[in-house]
Each structure stands twice: as structure tokens, then as C-alpha cells.
Structure 1
Amino acid sequence: MPDFWTTIQSFAESTTHRIGTQLLKDVGHATASEKADGSLVTQSDRWADAELRRAIAHTFPDHGVLSEEVEHIFPDTEWCWIIDPIDGTTNFARGLPLWGISLGLLYRGTPVFGYVYLPPIQQSFHGFWRGTSDLAMPSGAFLNNAPIRASQAALSHHEFFNICARSVSLLKSPFPAKIRILGVATYNLLSVGAGITLGSVEATPKIWDIAAVWVIVQAAGAVWHSLESEASEPMFPLTVGNDYTERSFPTLVVSYLDLIPIFEPLVKSVAQQT
């Protein structure tokens, strides 16, 4: 009989790949509407959200779920999945082939497993992060089941740094790396863990944007750095009964610690948007 973590990983892989197969048929043809926060949503988002919740309820009936499209209140369960059915909905709706499905598994309010599948480019990221928990579990971060590590390259104008669309006007110049905008929060940050970029910033990510990625990038050796003030409540553990609809987590991720004092002054102002 497979152990718990093998079951978790197999479930995440089979479920996201099954849903991704259908979404690939819909890409570029889905009608999008604007939500209250200005982001887009399609019927494909809602269908994928429902399918993910249904699969979790069937396989792990004692696990809670917090999802982008339906349930934003953190439940009183030891285990909870946080799901983003389509990260990069604007890309998806317009036919741009970069978007993904994100699943994060939390134990007592803190992420311990993350899985992100990007169907258009056939890339699957996953990782395990024990942190301070007492769990017996695997470790490491992987891309298509091959181990990944954050880059240790020296900063230069030939290295990449990812930004989100909301942070473009707030960046200070000159900037010491080549800028890229991907339009997908998960892949934006995962690129650091994969050794593709030296850093990434997200101005207003929600919990469903980062729950899975928080695990993977740290397991890959990258550094997760909050851009919120010290007075703000900590990111994890999440609080039972809290509504995370409006809560943003401005974040800087870098390949190694020495890059924080270089990049943070250049992107710090993005936190003022939350």
C-alpha cells in the first residue's frame, strides 16, 4: 500500500493532469468576466474549481478546502487544500500558452506540499517542506520529477528578474537584471526555484496564488521574503475562521540571501498597494 505522501503526490498529479487535458480544449475560447477585485474569471475557472473540490472531497473527506472561486474562509481542519484552478486566467482567456493549476496542502495552517501543473508547456512542479512541523515526510523540489535548485549565479545584467504587472510602474531604475513579465504568479515565483531567474516579485498575490509555491521554492533552496511591514501578521499559519478574500501577501523571492538587500529597496514600494 502506498504511503501517505505517495498518495498525496499521485492524487495531485493525476487530478491536475486530468483537468488540464480538458482546459487545453477550452483555452482561447472561454468567455471572461471581471470580478470585484478586477481580475478575470471564466466558466473554465469555475468548472476546474468544482472538479478539484469534488476530487478532494472524494479522496480526502476529512480534509478542508479553500479555493479562489468559492470558499475563502480557512476551515477548522488539521489538513487543508488551497487551490487555484487557473493561475493566469487572462493568459488562458486570450490564448497565451502560459497558465497553470495550483494545489497546496496545509498542515495545521502551514503549507507542507505544493503541486503546480502548467498544461500548455507540460511542466509539473512539486515539493515538500517540513518547516517546523513534526511530520515525517520527504523533502526536495522537483520539475517533471527531476530535482531543481535555485541558481547561485552572480548578479549581472544577463540574469533575469520577474515582475508582476502591478509592480511595473513602481520599480526603481536602473534595475540590475533583465526584466520579464509572465502573467502567472505561480510560474513567476517558481522560476526562481528552478534556477531560471535570480528573483521575482509579486505585489498583490492571494493565498491561492502562493500556498503551493511557498513550499516548492523554499524546498529548492530559494529565499522567500515578505515585503509587508514587521507589524503585519505572519503569513503562516493561517487562522481558522479568517476570510482571506482581501488579504494580499506582497512577496520577494530570491535565489540566495545576499540578493535581498540588493533587490528589496528596488521593489519595496509594491507593498503599499495592498
Structure 2
Amino acid sequence: MGCPKACLLSLRERIFLKSFFAVWLLKLLAYLPADWADRTGRTLGRRLDAGNSRAARTTRANVALAFPELDHAAQRWLVRASLKDMGEKAARMARVWVRRENNPDKIQDPENYHLFTDALAAGEGVILLVPHLGNWELLGQWVSEHGPLNAMYRPAKLEGIDALVLAGRQSQGYQVHPTNMQGVAGLLKALKRGEMVAVLPDQEPDAAGGAWATFFGQQAFTMTLAQKIAQKRSQARVILASAVKKERRRYQVVLRAVDPAFSEDGGLQHMNDAIEALVREYPAQYQWEYKRFSTQPDGRQLYP
């Protein structure tokens, strides 16, 4: 006999339980000793791979699309390394979101630090392009130590996770703006004040907010937000930024200049090229479990 309707959990109840257990896991990771938390995170990543999870399937598809020149063994190594890094990264980020720690990991001398200090000294505002590479929460902490940081924020699907992440970021000094025209106006005002604005450039936008450009040889519907902001505030400096892991709990902030032609019409390719070049240096630290190529101009489905 099947379970009567009365004993089935409602959709709202299932979402609540999923949120509860996700928050519980993040809190557990946040309060474990750092070595234990890292090992637990890597173990979770290995289990995602072994269990043929959605994250593992998407990672495999993305790695095959982005690195067709690698043989099967090399692609499998990269998939495993990426998923283990994702688990460890979650443990690292949990310490920021839950414990509100400042600099829980050590930052080595930033690469191309002069790009950042010169941009701040110019006083015309700084647009930071922050791809899903390395530990972007740690990067946000480091950046906010140098001055006011503004970013758009789209609420997470799970309420518990949303509250945790939002509170954690605001504790770092983020000024959070909604993902709408009001938010765009807030970012432009921040740049006018000479402040910093962080934009995630490698998320798929909605139909009105993107244009086509290649990324790892694939057609990728690419967000135009940063480009439009740069066009409206042409004096602002544009810098690609990531906090990448160099060794055990040691990170380096990597800063790269973006071709000025990026802000011109049709210049999105310069942004994608800069992101791709950086990802190729640290391929295991990129968020390959995100369906970056889910929208295709011919309607093809690239993911299982």
C-alpha cells in the first residue's frame, strides 16, 4: 500500500528540511578544526563524484567541453580535483558566513597589487570582475579591507542559506544591492563616489541582460552588466580579481588588467578571454558544476 496523502511531506516542508540540514552542515563545517573541515569538504566532493550527482555530471560535461584536448584520464583527474576543491571551498566559506571571521586564511602578496592601489588612488571608482574561481568570499573580505565594496545579491533558493550568506557578507562590510534596475543605479552611484563594485561576470543572465561570446571554445550567453556599467562610468578602472589557493590554507589575490576595448560595443569577448586565461592557470579551482553553457543559440542541450 502507498503512503496516504496525510503522511507525505508538503513541498514547503521538504524545502524547510533541506534548508535546515544545509545550514546544519555549514555550521558543522564552520566549527570543526580547520584540518578536519577541509578533509570533510574534500570527502563530500569525492562522494559527489562517486555518487554520480548532478554536480558531478555537470562538471564532467563542462570539462569535456572546455578541454577536448585532454585524454580521458586527464579529464577524470580534473573532475575529481574540481569536486574536492568545491567541497573544501564550502568548508572555507562556512567559516566566513557562520563565524564571521576576518581573514580565516592567509593571503600571500597580491599579484599585480599596483593595479588595485593605482585604481583606488585615481578615485574614479573600481569595477572588479569576480569570476567563480578560487574563494570569492575570501576575496570579498580582502577587498572590503581597502574600502567600501558594493555588489548585487540574488537571494538563495533556500531561506536558511540565504539568511546565513547575506548576514555573513554584510558583516564583511558589503553594501548589497538588489538584482534590478534600482540595484544597477546603486552600483553607478557607488562608482561616482569612488567606491568599488564587484560583478560576477560568468553567470548566465536573462534574455535581456546578455549577448553571445565564446568561452573555452563554446558559445556562451554572457552577462553585459559589467560592460554597461563601464560604459556609463568610463573613468572607472576595470580589474579581473580572484583569490586562488596556492598551498594549504594559503591564498593569493590575483589581479589582472582587462583590455579597455571590453567596454566598447561587441567587446565582451575581451572579458571572456581574460577570464578563460586565468581559469586555465587554475582549472581545478573553477566552479565547473555550474551549467555555464546551458543556453545555446541553436537550442542544443549540452548537459545530461
* TM-score, normalised with respect to structure 2: 0.31
**Greater per-residue helix proportion:** 2
Higher strand fraction (1 or 2): 1
Higher RCO, Cα 8 Å, sep 6+: 2
- Larger Rg over CA atoms: 2
